[in-house]
Structure 1
Amino acid sequence: MAQTEDDAAYFTLDGGVFVPGEQARGWWAPGTVHGRLLAGLAARVLEREHGAEGMHFARLTVDLFRSAPLAPVRVRTVRVRDGRRIRVADAVVLGVDGQGDGEPLARVGAVLLRTSAPPPGHVPATAPWDAPPPDALPATHTARTFWRFDEDLQPVREWRGDQRRRAWLREARPLVAGESVSPLVRVTLAADAASPMAHASDEGLRYINADYTLTLSRLPLSDEIGLEATAHTAEDGIAVGHCTLYDVAGPVGYCVTTAVANDAR
């Protein structure tokens, strides 16, 4: 069956270079790639080059420090530390031009921890989610994702007041042509939504994401990733926020985001 524009991947891979399609275009500025896709590419390469059986990606810190033009990129990684129980690796997403690798566009640091049996004792933990399951809610489709909002909520642009902010999100297309989206990449892509979940106001999203840190006790089991905004503070145009992440089986981790005031686009 021929691929349609609706299900085309964000990138095609050409000799180690990721070439974006029109569907990868960001919405903060014309002619740019959406930052969450750079994070997804970095997670993809980190997983392939540094993942190992028994080692779990427990933390990813994504620094989005430059707007990325809608142009090819490459991901370079380095292993910073490799111990018996902890592995640390960094990835840099670089622009590619006619002269070779260009400026760094994003950086992702990963911490992998060795899995083991849990210690004895009881620790108070995040409770199972009481949100309706995703297939019980109407879907809102965008070019990038399927959103399913709780029945008493509206899409981000329509949020008002102090109501509870929670939603299910499912990726609508492959990240790289010919590849399925792994659970790690899927949750990395979804975690970028922590910024609008935490920082959108009744006048829309007026903060642009500077970075986010995703922490995971386990990888998601479902294609749908649930997010609930659980904290927001702001002063002098700087905002920090927090979301809890879920799959259909329960909580999987958290995302902390920092953002800076930005004119609406």
Structure 2
Amino acid sequence: MSNEPFFRRDGDHYIPTPAGRGPWNPNSLHGRVIIGLLGQVLEERHGDPAFIPARLTVDMYRLPGFEPVEVTTRMVREGGRIRVADAEFISGGVSMARATCQFLRRGDVPPGQVWRPQPWDVPAPQEIEPDERSGMSGMWAMRNISGGFGLAEQRRTWMSEVREIVDGSPLTPFQRVAVAADFVSPIAHVGDQGLGYINSDVTLYLHRLPAAEWIGFETTYHGADEGVAVGEARLYDERGPIGIASCVALSQKRPPPPPPRKD
């Protein structure tokens, strides 16, 4: 990848780059780069080829700026079939987010038939015209399938990461889907008046890792009351389903519109 990464290593710290700027505050990081870094460090320190990172949950309770980041981890349980590890995202010496990853040992699928959703029959990403306006000006690549921002309808889209999370560390399949998972919030919560929610967490569930670079999203749930929203999307690669992503979000206050001009 030739695009600027989200972080550069400096000893035990990660230095954010402008590529990780978020949409809510120009002086803060995007939630997806927080999730991506936590997922990458958890996989690097505690992952094992014999295990699938089946669940990643990230709580984001503060908006980090561009100060140096430290990620601390600890193994909560290291069993023969289930392993659980925690990580903390510390920016400028202050805790900003935390994550838990559950690793499950690979094995055989039990015999028998179980209900599944209908196959995801959509055009491949290579068959869809690129939309240069999407992906926050090139933070990621996108191929929209149906629905769209500004429309109150179910959305389906492909997205692909275009840069490394940390400079010099090529994306693994798990890191690729982890950094994409934050998109569940805008795809589930956007409406005909725009996006009025900022998510405070993301949970990613995987029954297998993606086989290629494109991750498909299909919204399956949005519900909101009293300023709190829950959203969910099914996740796919070009071979079929790989899992789901879900999030909770808070209504986000917007600055009042400017007064009308008096000519």
CA contact (8 A) 1:65 1:210 kept: yes
Q: Distance in 2 between matches of 1:55 and 1:17?
A: 27
Matched, 1:31 2:27: yes
Q: CA deviation at 1:18?
A: 0.7
- Of 39, 48, 52, 1:52 maps to 48
CA distance in 2, matches of 1:205, 1:47: 32
2:173 corresponds in structure 1 to 183
The answer to whether structure 1 residue 258 and structure 2 residue 248 are counterparts is: yes
2:152 corresponds in structure 1 to 161
1:263 partner SS: coil
| Runs of 4+ more than 4 Å apart | none
Structure 2 counterparts to residues 138-177 of structure 1, below 5 A? 138-141=129-132, 142-150=137-145, 152-154=146-148, 156=149, 159-162=150-153, 164-177=154-167
Match of 2:101 among 107, 110, 127: 110
SS in 2 for 1:33: coil
> Which whole-Å CA distance do the structure 2 matches of 1:71 and 1:103 have between them?
10
Task: Give the TM-score, by structure 2 length.
Answer: 0.92
Match of 1:89 in 2: 85
State whether structure 2 residue 75 is matched by structure 1 residue 79: yes
Report the TM-score, using the length of structure 1 for normalisation: 0.91
Alpha-carbon spacing, 1:41–1:161, altered in 2? closer, same or farther (3 Å): closer
What is the letter of the counterpart of residue 232 of structure 1?
Answer: H
CA deviations over 1:125-154 (Å, ceiling 9, x no partner): 23321121001111124231111101x433
Q: Distance in 2 between matches of 1:145 and 1:213?
A: 20
Structure 2 unmatched ranges of 5 or more: 256-263
Q: How far 1:191 moved relative to its partner?
A: 0.9
Distance (whole Å) between structure 2 residues aligned to residue 208 and residue 173 of structure 1: 24
For the 8 Å contact 1:19–1:73, the answer to whether it is kept is yes
User: Sequence identity of aligned pairs in percent?
Assistant: 40
| 1:38 counterpart letter in structure 2 | I
Q: What is the aligned partner in structure 2 of residue 127 from structure 1?
A: 118
Q: 1:204 aligned to 2:194?
A: yes
Cross-structure match for 1:99? none
* Alpha carbons of structure 1 residues 18 and 244: separation in structure 2 relative to 1, 3 Å: same
Cα distance in 2 between the residues matched to 1:12 and 1:33: 14
Q: Which amino acid aligns with 2:41?
A: V
CA distance in 2, matches of 1:239, 1:15: 39
Please say if residues 152 and 190 of structure 2, whose CA atoms lie closer than 8 Å, have aligned partners that are also in contact.
no
Counterpart secondary structure, 1:68? coil
Q: Structure 1 residues 193 and 264, CA, compared in 2 at 3 Å: closer, same or farther?
A: farther
Structure 1 gaps of 5+ residues are: 97-101
Distance (Å, rounded) in 1 between the aligned partners of 2:253 and 2:89: 26
Aligned pairs, number: 251
Deviation at 1:176, TM superposition (A): 1.2
